[in-house]
Structure formats: C-alpha cells, structure tokens
Structure 1
Amino acid sequence: MSERSASRFPRQRSLFLFGILMSTIFGTVDQIHAESPREPWTTSRLIGSPEPPLPYTVERILPSVQFRNPVDFAVEPGTGLWFILQLDGKLFCLDPSSEEAPILVHDARATIDNHDKSYGIEFHPDYLKNQYVFLSYVLPTSTPDGTFVSRFRLHRDNGSPEIDPTSEEVFLRWPSGGHNGACLKFGPDGMFYVTSGDGSGPFPPDSHDVGQNLKDLRSTIMRIDVDRPDEDKPYSIPDDNPFLDIPDARPEVWAFGFRNPWKISFDPETGELWCGDVGWELWELVFRVERGENYGWSIKEGSQPIRSDIVQGPGEIQPPIAEHPHTEARSVTGGFVYYGQELPDLTGHYIYGDYVTGKIWGITNDGDKVASLEELASSNLAIITFGIDERGELIILDYAGGIYRLKPNPQSDTSSQFPRQLSETGLFQSVTPDLVNAPGVISYSPNTQMWADGARATYQLALPGDDSIVWKQNRDRWEFPSGTVFAKTLEQFTENDGEVRWRKIETQVLHFDGLNWNPYSYVWDEQETDAFLAPAEGSFRTLNVANPEDSSLQRNIEWRIHSRAECSTCHTPRAGNAVGFDFSNLASATNSTENTLEKLVELHVFDRPVPENQRSRVMAAVDATAPLEDRVRSYLAINCAHCHRREGGGTSPIELPFHLPIERTRLIDTAPTQGTFGIAGARIVAPGHPYRSVLYYRLATVGRGHMPHLGSQLTDEKGLAMIREWISSMPPESGTPDVSKLEFTANLIKQSLNGSPEQLAPDAAELTTSKHLALADSFCSIEDADLRTRAASQWAQIAPAHIRGLYERFLAPEERVATLGTSVDPDAILALQGDPERGAELFRLSEGITCRNCHTVGMVGREVGPDLSTLGKTRSREEILSSILNPSEKIDQKYALRTIETVSGKIVSGVVHSEEKDSLILKDANGIQIRVPRSDIEAMVTQPRSMMPDLLTREMTAQELIDLVDYLKSLQ
C-alpha cells in the first residue's frame, strides 16, 4: 500500500451516501410512506451495458463476515482455515465451512510498540512440523529500519489458534514510509521471497533514489533461506542469488527496479514469479519476474521514460508483460495463476485486478510473450488482495471488508439495446430546445457544485417506479434501489459562429445496476439537438469558452470527456458513489429559495424522515453570508473529499469531508508528504500564509502539481481568492514574514508589460516559489485581458518547470510553453531558426542541459566524451540533432561504453581513456579515472548503448533544442 501507491493510505470505510448515521436515530421512527406522492418512473431504458457483458462477475461469499481493512489472505496448511490480516495488525482465523464468527489470532498493536500497519502473512512450507508463520509490519513513516519481516510461532494451547508474541524473531528490516510492499511468499524452491517498494510518496518519483541502487533493500524482490541461519543473522543467502559478486550490493536482492510491488505469487505448475507493480502517473504494471533482472523504476515507468538523472543498475531494463493506462486502472493488485475446478476456462490464467477501478483481468503467456489478455470482470470493489483457498479456488478481498469470488456472468448480451442517444434513455420527455424530465424524474439543486472549468450544471435523480432510498439499520447506511440513475448536464458559456451563450456540452449519467454504479457520458452535438454516447475510453472536444461576466474574454480549452474508468475513480463506494448528493449539500442554504432536501423528503425519495441533527450544518460555498470557514470547507469537500477521505485514494493524509471538525482534517500547520515544490517552510495550510501553503499552490497551478487531477484544467480564480482570504485570516506563527505583504509585485508587473523575457530573467532568478505565487496572483489585478496575457506569457517563458504553471493559468492551452516530452519531430525542429548565443548560454549555464557534464567546449565542461569545440566542422545540423535525440544510434568506438568484470567480481563501466602495458584506464560518467590492471580483467564487454542518456530533451522546448543545435553547429 502506499503504501500501496498513492492510492493506498490507511482508511476506514465511510458509510454509504450520508456519512455516519447512528441507527438509534431511527429506532422508534415509524415508516411514513404509505403511498408515494410522485409519479412512478417507468420509462427507463438504461439496462445492461453498451458493451457486451464481461464473461465473469463477482459475488460475495460469507456475507455475514465483515473485516476492517483487510490486506492479506492465507490458508493454514492441514486445516484449510482462512487467515485474514487487517491493516491494523489484527489477524483473524475463519472456518469457511462454518457459520462461526472469525477468531482473533493476533493483535499486533497490543503487543508491538509503535505498530503502525501490517501488510503480509505467509505460512512456512513445513508449518505442520514447526508451526512457523511469517508476518510483515511497519512502524510509523520514516522510522529507520521501521519495516519488519518477522517469524512467529502459532499454537493452540487454549484450543483456538494463537500467535505467541514472545516468539517473534526478526529476519529483515528496512526503512518504513511510502511504498513498503512487504508481500511474503515461499517459492517452489523452498526459498523465502519478500517484496519492497521504493519507500517514497508520489512526488518526486523515487525520492530516495533507491530504484536502481542495489545497496538498498527498497525497490526489490528479496530471496533468502530462512531454514539455514548464518552466523550473525537468522537466515542465509542462497548461493545462486544474482548479485553476490557486485561490491556493496545487498546479497538478498533477487530482482530490482520496482516502484511498489503489491502482491507476488508463483505459478504452481511452471514456477514463474508474477508481480503487480503499482505505477506512477501513467501506467499500472504486471511483471513476470526473473532472476537478476532490472525492471526499470525509476528510470522508467514500464515503457515510459521518467528519470534520466540516476545511474542505471546492472542489466538491460525489462519491459512489463502487461501495462494498463490510467484511463482504465489506477492501482494494480497482483493475483494468482488459477488451477481450480469451478472456472475451467481460466485454467492457467494469471488473474489480477485494480484497487481503484475494481476491474479484473486474466493473462496467459508463452514465456515473456503475451498469449492472451482479457478483461474478465468489472466491480465496485477496492481489490486489496487475492488468495487461493484450500481447494485451489480464487478468493478476492475487498478493502471494505467483504470476501468475494468470480463466477460466470449470467447476463445476456443486450448491448445493442443500450441507448446510444440521450433522448433514448427514458430520462427526458424531450431534449430540445430544453431538457424536460420524464414523469417521475426529479430535478434537484445541490448547494455547492464542483468546479468544472466554469461550466454550470443541472441535476436529475430517477428512482425506478415509486421506489425510495431505503435506510438499512443493520448496515448503518442508505441503499438505493436497483435501476437508480443520476444525471448531470454541463453547460459552457461558449462562442460558436459569432454567438456567445450557454451551450450544453455533456450529460453525465450514473446508473446503479443493483451491484455496480456505472458511469456514462453523452456528448451534445453542435446544434444541441441530442447527445450521443461517448466511447468508453473518453475523448476531447475543443471549446472556445468565454467569461459570463465579460463575453469578450475568450480562450480555447480542450474539454475532456473522461473515460468510464476515470469517472469510477471518483464515484466510489468510499465517496458515496453519487458524489455531492448528501444531507449537508441538499439542506437549505441561507440564500436558497428552495430547500432541496425538504422537497426530496416530500416526494418520498427517502423511505423515512431525515433526522434533524443531520441538517444542522450546511454546505454553501457560494453563500456570501455563510462563515468563511464553512464556505471554504464546502468548496474543498465537493472538489476534493471524494479522494481525500478515509478509503478515498488520496495520497496525502488530509481528510476533507464537510462534517469533520477542522482539527481532524490534518490540514492546518501540517508538513506536506507529497512534495513542497520549493516552498520554504511549506505546510499543507500555513496559518496566515497562503503562499507557504501547498494546498494553495496546487489549486493555483495548471502544471503537474495541479489539483484536482481530474475534472478541471483551468484555475477557479474566485475559489482561489476565497481560500487565500481564509488562510490569510488565520493567526500566523509569530516572527514569520508574510510574503503576501512584500512590496515587490508592482514593479515586476510594470516590467512584465514593458520588457522582454530576457530582461526579466535576472529578476526571476531571485524569486522564491512563494514570491512567484504572490506575483502570479497580482496579475488578477490587471484589468486589460491582453496585457494580463502578455505579462503571464513573459514569465511562463522564463520560469522553471514547477513555477511555469502558476503563470500559464492565465493562458489558453495553445499559448502555454510547449515542451518536447518523449516524442520529437526532427524535421519540425530543423525547420526552426536557432540562436547560437542563446544555445551557448544553455550549454554553459542551464541546469536542465547536461551536455557539459561529459563534453567540453573550450574551457567549459568535463572531458569524458568527445571535445565539441570543432563539432560544426564535421557534423551537419541534422547529424547533431540526431546524435542528441538518438545517442546510441551511431557510437564512435573511441567513446564506446565498456563494462569490465574483474576477477573478484567487481563491475566497472566507462570509456577507455588510455591504455598502458599492464593496465587499462577508464573514465566514468563523472569524469573520474579508474585504473584496472589487465591481470584483474575477467571479462570486458562493449555495450550497445551510449553512455549519453536518452530523452535529454524531454523538458526542453523546441526553440531551446534548436538553439543548442545551432550553437554546436557554430563551433568551427
């Protein structure tokens, strides 16, 4: 978990829809709905799915059994009893053939000082003889050696199974924090395998630089022999572990380069080791792990290059056997190869899933080649782990506490009948010129709406027939009837053919089929005659949006029609599925003319009265008469709390549901855990200091750190001003300067309007992140939109990458600085006119251009690769650009990278600097000369890749690249 990625912090399951409602509230309340006053809704055609049904579905087993945040599953040898480990360290044993309640076997928090979380359980192969069980757990984040893998003895002295806490013997330890991994498995070779993540949060990636570092146990899969202790530790290193001859490498390492290997397993037939590795920003990864291989993190995230600033570990980087984009998966959970009897079509399939989207896949392989890859099932489960029971059947654990199995999907293929047009859904009598609800469909208005790049929204709720939302006292939650539909139509103030007005862009539909909440989007045509079903993967639409307060202020945006998987990352059971439909957001705000909640009660939307104590605090971000903190909390709740809550998937420990007291949100004066973006003294919210507050930075930027990740790409300036006012109103710490009161912005604004980027560069170099925040905010005071755009553009061109987004919020996407990324068109670059003087400055001074680390021009640089002082004499512009973009395409053998293995097993790499009679002198990437006696050389290999790293241009602009090329061409 993130301990599982950023998506896996310890979270309690919030109660469905309305938060915690004590059952005693309803203990003496009679049912009041003898007859519904609303018309029944009978016109729904939202049945089934627009795609053919998946071959399998999930079903809950042992429904009376409920766990609290389970994280691992194991079967006790000999008895077939199921052991379920919870995150809080409680280990339960369960007889699946009995109706008896689970038995508590061990409570780690009661016996282990500072226990924070538990992750893994594994029984010893000779458990029937020795009664050994292995557990992994961690102490609080950043504890040195705070991750433990320990062996315990299990006994039945009192008749029931119990872990003897005094029997603990610690086998492995490494630092706690971030991605701990800590999955435990015995292999078919009898060796003990243990996973470890990189110990980092999401930003920056691999912050401890351990992904390629064999001196560290993090980011690895380890292999040890627990049955043959060494002299100074309770285990020994198998003789065939792969890195025994590399100096300083941890001998326990079997494979490396993993970000957060969340669950491994062995194929019992082939012995293959499978691993689900939680990805970073783009991909979720599945690896077939082999001895001694390098799986890339953090140089790569699967096939995507990430970092070029770290030294690659030994071996070529191995690609994943399968990778899923974040449009369909967000946090992979590794599974098992199936050989049970109940699902014969899945025999030999590696079955795995995703924690966030609830999807399940099956893969077969021929060695390292994929033979088949199929989505098997879709669910609303937070799939935390899989297991294999005593009969070889697959078990699925939901982090919410239930146990599930796969079963063949009985649903017939009705995909051709699913409505492809909004007018066919049965939600509306007519859709043009205005939406007119079908009988029984209810319009409602939440007090606070999510920011959606300035769009406004209308909302509908449709309950089948005259059904109501029912309070389930035994489950402490409200439940919707099967067939419930929510609809939300978004309109943008746009220009089209010279006409500026509100236009319908998209209608989002959320349909409950009795088991899952399924999201769909219908996209309106240009004439607004109807809306049409968007593809599952989503799409984009270019809009020319205007400001409703000044229609002359227009800019193009790329409106994202989100994929169905992306929609499911917010509309989760942990967030109540129907995000925003809760008591506090439906009860009357002080400036409301209609009490939405009362209207819904009168229409018998609920099967009983809503308790008064649930209406006492009301969300109302736009109500100027409401207390400022309530307005801000409303804003954060509707925009952020679906992720930032217990079980929500947010990577920061903050919790933002509206009902929580401010002291329980962990917002105020809390150090950020996911990066500071260069803010000195950063806090998530720094009282009195908006420009030291990471929360404020994330809402102000449109760059990589922008929040929320989904749903918007423009900054909400009114919301930002409200949050700035709120933070500024808090009593600050004594003695801390308030950057917002520094008198520096007026002069810089004047320079921005009258100068050039080159003239501003010296001033930019002096500004901190906090001052950049203040300066960017001050641009809001520039009334002339063209002048504001000019000022922002000037600063965006010279600002560092993590600052650029603060200014680009004032620019349309096409006006923002375009960096090259991972795909470069050489012809387009060469068509530009470069400036050799600017290129010289880049070579000499830029922190992002690393040519001088290995090359010299005159007295500048380091002499590792060729001297470039006369490069322009022998190379054309085309050849220079090609050598930068593809450094390994043509390698001068004089500068070929040589890797030497010495007789003692030491590995040395570099280019040959000189040769002597008795020795060879290499020069490594840092320019350090290494003398290797010829008598010590066991083997020397010329590598097929250049020492010069790939993707050096990823963060450069096209102009910067051609400036550098033309500078190098000018060197005659």
Structure 2
Amino acid sequence: MRTPAAAALRPVIFLIAGLFLMVPVGPPLTASETREPWTTSRIVGTPEPPAPYSVERVFDGLEFDRPVDMALEPGSGRLFMLQLDGKLLAFSPDETSPEPVLVHDAHATIEHHSRSYGLTFHPEYEENRQIFLCYVLPGTTEDGTRVSRFRMTDGPQPVVDPESEEILITWPSGGHNGGCLKFGPDGYLYISSGDGVGPFPPDSEETGQDVGDLRATIMRIDVDQPSNGQPYTVPADNPFVDLPDARPEVWAYGFRNPWKMSFNPANGELWCGDVGWELWELVYLVKKGGNYGWSVMEGRQPVRADVKRGPTPILPPIADHPHTEARSVTGGYVYRGDRLEDLQGAYIYGDYVTGKFWALWNDGDSVTRHEEIADTALAIITFGEDRDGNLFVVDYAGGIYRLVPNPREESATPFPRKLSESGLFASTVDHQPAAGVVPYSVNASLWRDGAVAERFVALPGTTSISWNPNRERWGFPEGTVFVRTVSLEEVTGDPTTRQRIETQVLHFDGLEWRAYTYVWNEEQTDAELAPAEGFDTTVDIAGETTSWRIHSRTECLTCHMPRAGFAVGFNIENLNRVHGGEGTATGQLDRLAALGVFDRTIPGKHRQATLVDPYDGSATLDARARSWLHVNCAHCHRRGGGGTAHIELPFTHPLEKTNAIDERPTQGTFGIANARIVAPGNPERSVLYYRLATVGRGHMPYLGSRNVDEDGLQLLHAWIESLGDPSSSGEVPTTLPETIESVGQALQLVRAIDDGLLVKERRDQLIAKGASVEQPEIRGLFERFLPEDRRVRTLGTSADPAAILMLTGDATRGARLFAEAAGVQCRNCHRVAESGKMVGPDLTRIGAQRSRRDLLESILDPSRRIDPKFVTYAVQTDAGRVHSGLVVNETDSSVTLREASGKDVVLQRDEIEDMIAQPKSLMPELLVRDMTAQDVADLLAYLESLR
C-alpha cells in the first residue's frame, strides 16, 4: 500500500553515485566540451532543523589503525588506545602535537593472538601498576577469549611487561566476544561477553539464557583475592553463587553482543549498549541478576520461543532503536564534564553504522528525556574520557573527536521539496542537467532488480575534487552533490519505455554527507522529497506490481559510509573507462580532469586496477566475478565497513586475503552440510552462492534488491567452480535427488532449473513443490522463480488483525498446524484434549468461550488481557534464586509454580523473599511472525471449532 504522504508518488530504489547496478546510461562526454560554473544549487542545509551538536576532530594528525578501546591512565593523565591488531599506544593529550608511543604489542608477544577488544586500569594502578586486557585467539576454541592481567614498568616511558601476563578468566571464542572491561565503584572487575556465535541461526549454541555459560553475560570478579586455585574470587553477593550449575561469576545475562559499558560515578549505575539482531539496537541499565532476554527476545521483539528461559524475569531495555535509525549501538558514558553544560548528567551513546549520537536522561528506570543530538559520518567504535569527565569519541577510521555545539543555523533558503527546485536540472521534465552539472558513468554497478540509472556530479562554481596520491583519497569541496536518477523499463533495453522512479541525492555540506531521495510522480513531470524515514510502496511495470522500498536517509548512509568512501562507486577503478560515442570517446578520468572536476590528472600507476562490466562476456571470468562482488558487497564487506561477516571483498584485495575462500561461515550455514563461505569448486556448499540464490532470509545484497540477479548468479556459480576441482571439495551427485528434504538437495534441483536441464512440466512441478516447503531456507530458493504476489508473505512484526479476520480459515489445516508445524508453538504450552502441554489455558473448549476476534488478540498481543488465573509471578528466594511461572497450587507452607517449560517447581513459604505479579504474559508476543496470514486464519478456524 502507498502511504498517505506518498499518494502521488511512484516509488523506489536506493542510494547514490553508482551504488546499485544500474545499466550506465546518459549523454556522452566529448573531448571538446567545456565545463561551465554551477551556480544554481539550492541543496543547502537540511530539510529538518539542524542537530544541536556536531563533532570536531581533536589531536590533528593523530591517527590509529582500527582502534577499539580507549582509557585514561590514572595519575599521569595519558590516554591509551587499543587497536584491534593488539597494539596498545599511549599519548599525552596536553601536548600540542602528541606522538603515540607503543607500550604493548599483543600480536607480537602473545602466541596465536588474533584480535584485542578491551582494556582498563586497576583502581589502585598508581601503586600496583596493573593493567587488564581482553583479547581472542583465532577460530572457535574453548578458552579462546581471555582476560589477562599485566604490569606496567616504571620510568618516563613505561611499557607493558609481556612476561607479567596472568590469565584471569577465559570463555569460548567465536563471534560476538564482547570484551569490555570496567572496574565498578565496588572495586570489582566487570567483564562483558557476547553469545559467541554469528547472527543466523540466532544464538545457535543457546548461551543467552544459560547462566551456566559465561557467554552472553556481564561477569563480576574480585581480582585482588585469589582463591581455590584461581587468580580471582567470586564476590559472595553475586546473584547466582548458590544456584546449582550456574557460573557464579555471572552478574547479569541475556546479552547478544554487549559493546561497551560504563559506570555512572555519581550513583553506580551500570550502562551497556547491546548490538541487536535483525530489528533493534538496545541500551540497558544493568541490574544485579538481570536477564536481558537474548535470545528469547531481541529487546521488545520475540525471537526464540523454544529456548528455556533463565532463572530471572526478562527486563526491558531502557532505550531501543529500530534498524531504520541505528544498526550497531556503541555504549558510551554519563557525561560529567564542564564543556557541554546542557548534557551534564546525560548518558551519551552512539551508533557505529549510522554515526548518530543520542543523549538520555533518567530517574532510575524511568527515562525523563531522550533525544538525538548529532548525526555524523563517524564509525563510532568507542568513547573515552579525560580527567575532567569530558568525552572523546573514537572513529574506527582512526581519528579522535569530541562533541561541540552545532555552529550552523538553519539556512535562509528553504531546502528544496521538489526536484525542480533543487537547481540540479535546467529542465526537470526533460531530465536536462543544469549548466555545470557533469554526467559520468561507471564500469560496474550493484544489481537493483534490473533498474537503469543516469549519474551526475555537481561541484559549486568551478571548484574541483582534490586527489591525494599518498592516501589515494578524494577531497570534496563543500556543497558537492552526486545525483542518480533511477528508472525501470517496460521493455528491457528499450530506453523509450523507461519510467523514472526516483532521483537520489548525496550532499556534502563541508562536514557531513547527507542522503535524500526525490520520488517521481506518475506524470513524470517532477519528483517530491521523500520523508526521512522512507516508506514501502509498489511499482507497476510491464504488467506486474512489485513491492519496493524508498529507503530512509539512515539506511542510505549504512552503505555510504567512511570506509567505502561515502560516494560509493565514484572511484578510480570504476571511473577508469572510455565514456562517449565513436569518434568522440575519451578516457573518462582524463576527461574529468580536463574539465576541472579533478584538480589533477590521475597518474597511470594509480589506474592499475579497473573494474569490468560483470555482464560483459569478453572480460575474464575472475575480473567479472570480482567486479560483481566489489560493487554488490564490498561497501560493507571490507575492513571497518560494518558487514558482520569477517570477509573483505574489494576488487583490489588479493583473493587469499578476502577471508572467504574455504573459510567456515560465522553468520550461519542455512543447513548446508560442510558449508564454507566460498567452497572452491563447489558452489552448492558455498554460503555466498546460497545467499545470492535465495529471496528468503539471508538474501544478499542486504539493501536494495528483492530479487535474484540471474545473470550474476550464473557468473558466481561459474567462478566458484573455476576455483578448484569439485571432486576435491566433496562428491558431486550425478543424478538429481527425488525429494526436497535438505538445503543441499534444494540447491542441486535449483541448479538443474538454472541450467535448463528439466522439461517445462517437470520444472513447474518442482518449483511449485519447493515453494510450498515449510522450511524457509528451502522455500526461498524456489520462490525466486515465482512472481512476488505468489510468494509466501509471512506476518513478520506488523500483523494486520483486520486483514486476518477477513480471511476464511480451514479448520482441518489449522489442526495440522497446531499439532505438527515446526513454526507453531501453541502445543508447547496449551492442551487440546490429550495433545499438548498444560502450562497456559486448556483449549479443549476455547471456541465456546472466546470469539474469533478475542482469540486473535490473545495470539498477537497476549499481554493485553491476562486471565487472573494465568498471571505470571516472579518469585525470589532468600538464596537469591528467581523463578518465573504460573501459580498452580498454594498451601500454607508452599507455592507451586509452573514454568514455561511445563516443569513444576515447589517453593517453601519460609524461603520466599519476594513474590511479584508480572505485567507480561508467559506467552511471548508475535509467536506467529513466521506464519502467513492464512496460516493464522486456519489456526483461528481450528480454535473456533473447539467447542
């Protein structure tokens, strides 16, 4: 459906300056053309009031390589910076031009060191010289994540004594290691750890709710008192010291990847940012024994109903952000400095991917004020403090910054709400660029469901883009604008059938890059500025209606980020091409330099690597495949790019340095046996190939495309086959499987369809069968052959009750869903006759007791109305244990609770310290997120029939 704000808008596509694959189009550039000044720009300021704060760089010239943590050395005031590679450097902030000194190199002194994550100093550091570091070993090992104590030497230039290492505590390494270290006001060391696995499947080792595992927790230990053969003591008041099978070190649990925590010295509150999964970024005010939900919940969103809950009730975040505005939260500090009086007492935190900052004021668990205070281009990796409590912000690109009041006032010129008001086009209707707006083209572009694009660069007046050959980086003048108009064609390859969908604008205001989208009207006369949050809509093209997303401005900047160079696609390897017709063609890089778009001619030695058109069969297979991966994947999958998989796919990267070849996937295998990211010679064992072949969960590219690039998929299949002998990677079946019971079988059958090995009747039967399989990892492979309106559409997080109630349900099918379907969890808590478990209400006669509307409400919003008989209670014992469940029996001497698992726990009255009714139902919200609306209608029909 179209949103009211977009009533007359024809939709979609996303991003700027050549990010998505659009077939290069546009007028030729000729050698005789001259560039006129661009004087008509009205792209000034922003459509919204400016944020109250911006950032400025401090310690100019000081730059680090992938910094991950920062700490203030007690006494000296020196600042220590820890890099991912294990180097620890120190510098004095009081010096005019500080020079960092290497004080420790973990990679050089610790055998098998892989990455470092956290550091802190002992509260009595000036006396005992103790410093603590957290680092990990390669791969997945039982003791691969370590927290060690070291000692600093004395003298004017102290360094870490590598021989002094004392390993304090370890837990398994993998993904999501956490690794933040902070001493609390109680003098104990607090340590954060993540769930240790990749994002899919979520919490695959089920550590989140397991207090018998150190992963997914915040630990608390006394490093000054060794005991029982360990170099530390567990404080006696830790919450789970008396709980059988629990790790007593655990202070709180249920975290996914707690990235940076800190204490408020004024009141001892422990703050933590937790990187979410698919929907939310989370901020927690951490309590003793607190359960923060992962992986039963992702903040407010249910994830896994099958996981046994931990021993304490799940607590909500104090703040959360949807993935439309944040993608990887970085915890910060409660501000106590004197530079920014308006922020005193606020918890300041940010987001690694979007560069946004927020300030949060609280009164205990209640938020009294919460606002976005800055929107920057930084990859916010960590924060630091000086001696006075003023904040430093560390950019993963290597610089140190601080927040400053935003000096910019709102522009006197209103930001253009229509493309015709922007000054970019002399004739918007004819799509004729204004004088000084220069068209350009690229060698390769990201796949965007077959769309084409026209690209332009606009520089104020006659200013130029500067080129730094030492850094191989562009310098853009203030007011630079990149423009890309995206179109779809009724007849592929026929420009006369082209419909303009949107014009995307990337604007550099001198400090930050900002992205905007103008959506064309149906008359193709003008385009209107899309709302900041974006919207979903539809496109009618060639007789088919397809859903599209106008991406939010934040979503745009998740790819247009620092490590990708912001103007993604506008780089030497993609611009190094001939642009123009026969007799007028000239090298584009030279042409742009001659026009003054560049301030100099790019030397030949910097033109060695050139992307090719992935669909040009005359180029080499390797160059085509690497070009496809570069433009589709490398903006995120590069060092510091924000991609969660540890792979690096820039075209210039040697293949062996990509971390993809014959490497085990850390982000889920999707059920592929013996999976690799890229299995040389065997595409069907390659997760990369699977992601490109599915339209279901796991589909890549992550943003922009909804459909599979069939030609690109064939290209990557051939490329992976060329990397090795298939027989060396496993047996390749000579006959097609008869069933579709595994992802491996599905991939073989889908490949047979792609290769045209099946007659039409058999092909159609196979697609219909595969697209009806309940397992989404299989279904998504076959649904790509179907029009979008024939694909399974699950409810996700936004079920429409009215639409479900309008459907006619099939009670027989609903009965099968209740009893057998893997995605339906009703039977785990409810009984019908003799089937199911008796935790929640007996449903044997529920149809006679509740209306269809009431039944649906209880499924979608179970906490809205809770029958008093089924109120959940949290019971805390005097031993510190907490149980949660339904009260099924009470006597003068005992209380019996039935937990979500169905297990009954009998508690003696004299051991119960507190018993509190919970406002949340034991049944999680949106248990039906992976069901279709028809599935729920069928389930309702079955429940209605129970009379």
| TM-score scaled by length of structure 2 | 0.88
**Range that drifts further, 594-603 or 700-709:** 594-603
Residues 849, 439 of structure 1: CA spacing in aligned structure 2 closer, same or farther, 3 A cutoff? closer
Is the Cα–Cα contact under 8 Å of residues 885 and 899 in structure 2 kept in the other structure? yes
1:888-907 correspondence to structure 2 within 5 Å: none
Matched, 1:838 2:813: yes
Task: Give the drift of 1:803.
Answer: 2.1
Q: 1:601 aligns with which of 585, 593, 601?
A: 593
SS in 2 for 1:742: coil
Q: 1:526 aligns with which of 515, 522, 527?
A: 522
Q: 1:714 aligns with which of 689, 707, 710?
A: 707
Distance in 2 between residues matched to 1:149 and 1:415, nearest whole Å? 55
Q: 1:453 aligns with which of 449, 454, 464?
A: 449
**Range that drifts further, 100-109 or 891-900:** 891-900
In structure 2, the partner of 1:398 is 395
Residues 41, 885 of structure 1: CA spacing in aligned structure 2 closer, same or farther, 3 A cutoff? closer
Distance in 2 between residues matched to 1:529 and 1:890, nearest whole Å? 52
Task: Give the drift of 1:506.
Answer: 0.9
Amino acid at match of 1:584: E
Residues 965, 93 of structure 1: CA spacing in aligned structure 2 closer, same or farther, 3 A cutoff? same
SS in 2 for 1:951: coil
**Range that drifts further, 589-598 or 725-734:** 589-598
Matched, 1:541 2:537: yes
Is the Cα–Cα contact under 8 Å of residues 284 and 323 in structure 1 kept in the other structure? yes
Q: 1:125 aligns with which of 123, 126, 149?
A: 123
Matched, 1:680 2:676: no
Matched, 1:704 2:697: yes
Which whole-Å deviations, capped at 9, do the CAs of 1:455-480 have from their partners, x for residues lacking one? 10011122233333223356453322
Residues 126, 729 of structure 1: CA spacing in aligned structure 2 closer, same or farther, 3 A cutoff? closer
Task: Give the drift of 1:545.
Answer: 2.2
Task: Give the drift of 1:386.
Answer: 0.9
Task: Give the drift of 1:422.
Answer: 2.1
Matched, 1:588 2:584: no
Amino acid at match of 1:229: P
Is the Cα–Cα contact under 8 Å of residues 586 and 596 in structure 1 kept in the other structure? yes
1:647-686 correspondence to structure 2 within 5 Å: 647-686=640-679
In structure 1, the partner of 2:500 is 504
In structure 1, the partner of 2:482 is 486
Matched, 1:39 2:36: yes
Residues 779, 958 of structure 1: CA spacing in aligned structure 2 closer, same or farther, 3 A cutoff? farther
Is the Cα–Cα contact under 8 Å of residues 81 and 88 in structure 2 kept in the other structure? yes
Task: Give the drift of 1:160.
Answer: 0.8
SS in 2 for 1:454: strand
Distance in 2 between residues matched to 1:854 and 1:339, nearest whole Å? 49
Residues 689, 211 of structure 1: CA spacing in aligned structure 2 closer, same or farther, 3 A cutoff? same
Which whole-Å deviations, capped at 9, do the CAs of 1:605-659 have from their partners, x for residues lacking one? 3333322233344322132211122111111111111011121111222221112
**Range that drifts further, 775-784 or 597-606:** 775-784
Structure 1 unaligned regions, length at least 5: 1-16, 19-34, 547-553, 749-762
SS in 2 for 1:137: strand
Task: Give the drift of 1:775.
Answer: 3.1
In structure 2, the partner of 1:443 is 439
Task: Give the drift of 1:395.
Answer: 0.8
In structure 2, the partner of 1:755 is none
Q: 1:102 aligns with which of 100, 112, 124?
A: 100
Q: 2:626 aligns with which of 597, 611, 633?
A: 633
Matched, 1:817 2:809: no
Residues 165, 800 of structure 1: CA spacing in aligned structure 2 closer, same or farther, 3 A cutoff? same
Amino acid at match of 1:262: W
Is the Cα–Cα contact under 8 Å of residues 92 and 105 in structure 1 kept in the other structure? yes
SS in 2 for 1:455: strand
Distance in 2 between residues matched to 1:245 and 1:97, nearest whole Å? 49
Which whole-Å deviations, capped at 9, do the CAs of 1:761-784 have from their partners, x for residues lacking one? xx44x4544425633761785999
SS in 1 for 2:497: strand
Residues 40, 959 of structure 1: CA spacing in aligned structure 2 closer, same or farther, 3 A cutoff? closer
SS in 2 for 1:38: coil
In structure 2, the partner of 1:364 is 361
**Range that drifts further, 64-73 or 162-171:** 162-171
Is the Cα–Cα contact under 8 Å of residues 739 and 774 in structure 1 kept in the other structure? no
In structure 2, the partner of 1:148 is 146
Matched, 1:471 2:467: yes
Is the Cα–Cα contact under 8 Å of residues 281 and 321 in structure 2 kept in the other structure? yes
Distance in 1 between residues matched to 2:886 and 2:371, nearest whole Å? 46
SS in 1 for 2:152: strand
Aligned residues: 910
Residues 450, 642 of structure 1: CA spacing in aligned structure 2 closer, same or farther, 3 A cutoff? same
Matched, 1:210 2:199: no
In structure 1, the partner of 2:374 is 377
Is the Cα–Cα contact under 8 Å of residues 695 and 780 in structure 2 kept in the other structure? yes
**Range that drifts further, 344-353 or 235-244:** 235-244
Residues 777, 557 of structure 1: CA spacing in aligned structure 2 closer, same or farther, 3 A cutoff? farther
SS in 1 for 2:482: strand
Matched, 1:176 2:177: no
Distance in 2 between residues matched to 1:879 and 1:422, nearest whole Å? 48
Q: 2:776 aligns with which of 784, 797, 801?
A: 801
1:877-888 correspondence to structure 2 within 5 Å: 877=852, 881=856, 884-885=859-860
Q: 2:386 aligns with which of 386, 389, 393?
A: 389
Amino acid at match of 2:466: V
Amino acid at match of 1:649: G
Amino acid at match of 2:149: R
Is the Cα–Cα contact under 8 Å of residues 739 and 770 in structure 1 kept in the other structure? no
Matched, 1:958 2:947: no
Residues 266, 857 of structure 1: CA spacing in aligned structure 2 closer, same or farther, 3 A cutoff? closer
SS in 2 for 1:734: helix
Is the Cα–Cα contact under 8 Å of residues 589 and 619 in structure 1 kept in the other structure? no
Distance in 2 between residues matched to 1:598 and 1:850, nearest whole Å? 64
Distance in 1 between residues matched to 2:637 and 2:828, nearest whole Å? 42
Which whole-Å deviations, capped at 9, do the CAs of 1:863-894 have from their partners, x for residues lacking one? 66666556656666556555555556777788
Amino acid at match of 1:579: V
In structure 2, the partner of 1:30 is none
Q: Kindly indicate whether structure 1 or structure 2 has the higher relative contact order, using CA contacts under 8 Å at least 6 residues apart.
A: 2
Is the Cα–Cα contact under 8 Å of residues 363 and 373 in structure 1 kept in the other structure? yes
Task: Give the drift of 1:172.
Answer: 2.1
Residues 191, 372 of structure 1: CA spacing in aligned structure 2 closer, same or farther, 3 A cutoff? same
Amino acid at match of 2:575: L
Task: Give the drift of 1:589.
Answer: 6.8
Distance in 2 between residues matched to 1:183 and 1:326, nearest whole Å? 23
Distance in 2 between residues matched to 1:627 and 1:483, nearest whole Å? 39
Amino acid at match of 1:492: L
Q: 2:352 aligns with which of 355, 359, 371?
A: 355
SS in 1 for 2:488: strand
In structure 1, the partner of 2:63 is 66
Q: 1:262 aligns with which of 249, 259, 269?
A: 259
Distance in 2 between residues matched to 1:870 and 1:609, nearest whole Å? 81
Task: Give the drift of 1:47.
Answer: 2.4
Residues 439, 231 of structure 1: CA spacing in aligned structure 2 closer, same or farther, 3 A cutoff? same
Is the Cα–Cα contact under 8 Å of residues 216 and 255 in structure 2 kept in the other structure? yes
Distance in 2 between residues matched to 1:682 and 1:658, nearest whole Å? 24
The CA RMSD over aligned residues, in Å, is 3.4
Distance in 1 between residues matched to 2:390 and 2:914, nearest whole Å? 49
Distance in 1 between residues matched to 2:659 and 2:581, nearest whole Å? 31
Is the Cα–Cα contact under 8 Å of residues 444 and 459 in structure 1 kept in the other structure? yes
Which whole-Å deviations, capped at 9, do the CAs of 1:170-207 have from their partners, x for residues lacking one? 22211122111111112222222221111121212222
Distance in 2 between residues matched to 1:817 and 1:301, nearest whole Å? 24
| TM-score scaled by length of structure 1 | 0.86
1:78-89 correspondence to structure 2 within 5 Å: 78-89=75-86
